Amino acid sequence: MPRPSSRVNAAAASIGEQFVVWRKLHGLTAVQVAERAGISRNTLRRVETGDPGVSMLAFLSVARALGVLEALVTASDPYETDLGRARADEILPMRVRR
């Protein structure tokens, strides 16, 4: 498995820190979030410390437990950007477009 770049590591650490803030804003303990996400406390610790090797399922489960899953989905939607909307008509076949 290739090692993540420093930018990926920095992004993972930043998101992990943001998840900690979300957890505290909701007044939840790490145990509560781990239970709601269906993961172990150790896996939550890995997410919150920005371990880029954590599974996508664990990451998205924590996002759901913290109420930010939809924001992540929207943020990655190319149709939510000017570029994505403009280029979709040019380069994507009709069956791929919404």
Domain that holds residue 63: 1-67
Q: Which helix (H) or strand (E) holds 25?
A: helix 6-25
d(CA 19, CA 32): 13
Residues 90 and 44 grouped into a single domain: no
Check pLDDT > 80 for residue 69.
yes
Indicate the pTM of the whole model: 0.82
- Please check whether residues 49 and 84 belong to one and the same domain: no
Q: For position 98, what pLDDT does the model report? A: 53
Q: Do 36 and 26 reside in the same domain of the chain? A: yes
pLDDT for residue 92 is more than 70: no
The tally of domains found in the chain comes to 2
Whether the CB-CB separation of 36 and 63 falls below 8 Å is answered with no
In this structure, the answer to whether residues 37 and 79 fall within a common structural domain is no
Over 80: is that where the pLDDT of 95 sits? no
Same domain, 59 and 15: yes
φ/ψ of residue 85, rounded to 5? -65, -40
Radius of gyration of the chain, Cα coordinates, nearest whole angstrom: 16
Q: Could you tell me the two tokens for 25? A: 């804003």
- Is the domain of 21 the same as that of 9? yes
Task: Pick 2 or 36 by higher pLDDT.
Answer: 36
